[in-house]
Amino acid sequence: MSFFQRLFLGIVLVCLIAGGTVYFVWLRIDAIQASVQRNERTEQVQAAADRLLAQFIGMETGARSYIITGDSTHLMLYARTVGEVALTAKQLRTMMQPLSPESASVLDFIDIALDKKIIEANQAIAMRREQGIKIAAYVIIKGKAANQADTLTTLIQRLQEETRAAHIKQYESVPVQYRETAYFLLYGVGGMVVVILLATAWAMLAQRSALKPVIEGAEKLALGDVYYRIPPGKTADVKPIISAVNTLGERLQSMQGKTRQSEDVYADIVHATTEGIAVWRAVRNGYGQITDFECQMANNTWNMAYRRSADYFTGKQMKSSLPDFLPLFDQCTMIVEQHQKLSLPHPVEGKQYRLVATKMRDGLLLRLVE
Q: Where are the domains of the chain?
A: 3-35+175-205, 37-172, 212-269, 273-369
Question: Per-residue pLDDT averaged across 295-323, rounded?
Answer: 89
Has residue 328 got a pLDDT over 80?
yes
Q: What is the mean pLDDT of residues 122-131?
A: 79
* pLDDT bucket at 145, cuts 50 / 70 / 90: very low
Residue 52, number of CB atoms within 10 A of its CB:
23
Sign of the Cα pseudo-torsion (153, 154, 157, 159, in order): negative
Mean pLDDT of 31-36: 65
Predicted confidence at residue 282, as pLDDT, reads 93
Give tens-digit pLDDT for 277-307.
999 999 998 888 999 999 998 888 888 889 8
pLDDT at 119: 84
What secondary structure, in 3-state letters, does the chain show? CCHHHHHHHHHHHHHHHHHHHHHHHHHHHHHHHHHHCHHHHHHHHHHHHHHHHHHHHHHHHHHHHHHHHCCCCHHHHHHHHHHHHHHHHHHHHHHCCCCCHHHHHHHHHHHHHHHHHHHHHHHHHHHHHHHCCHHHHHHHHHHHHHCHHHHHHHHHHHHHHHHHHHHHHHHHCHHHHHHHHHHHHHHHHHHHHHHHHHHHHHHHHCCCCCCHHHHHHHHHHHCCCCCCCCCHHHCCCCHHHHHHHHHHHHHHHHHHHHHHHHHHHHHHHHHHCCCEEEEEEEEECCCCCEEEEEEEEECHHHHHHCCCCCCCCCCCEHHHHCHHHHHHHHHHHHHHHHCCCEEEEEEECCEEEEEEEEECCCEEEEEEEC
Res. 357: pLDDT tops 60: yes
Ranking 79-88, 150-159, 325-334 by mean pLDDT, the lowest is 150-159
Residue 257 has pLDDT above 80, yes or no: no
Mean pLDDT value across residues 129-157: 68
Of the candidate CATH numbers 1.10.101, 1.20.120, 1.10.3720, 1.10.287, the domain formed by 37-172 belongs to: 1.20.120
Is the pLDDT reported for residue 76 higher than 70? yes
**Confidence (pLDDT) at 225:** 59
d(CA 6, CA 202): 7
Instruction: Flag the least confident range among 36-50, 151-165, 328-342.
Output: 36-50
Question: pLDDT: is 31 or 316 the higher one?
Answer: 316
pTM comes to 0.36
Residue 176 has pLDDT above 50, yes or no: yes
CB 340 within 8 A of CB 334: yes
How many C-beta atoms lie closer than 10 Å to residue 366's C-beta?
27
User: Span 160-174, mean pLDDT?
Assistant: 68
Specify the fold of 273-369.
Beta-Lactamase (3.30.450)
The predicted pLDDT at position 129 comes to 79
Q: What confidence category does residue 245 fall into, taking pLDDT thresholds of 50, 70 and 90?
A: low
Tell me how far apart the alpha carbons of residues 143 and 62 are, in angstroms, rounded to a whole number. Answer: 13
Residue 339 has pLDDT above 60, yes or no: yes
- CA geometry: angle 164, 170, 174, nearest 5 deg: 145
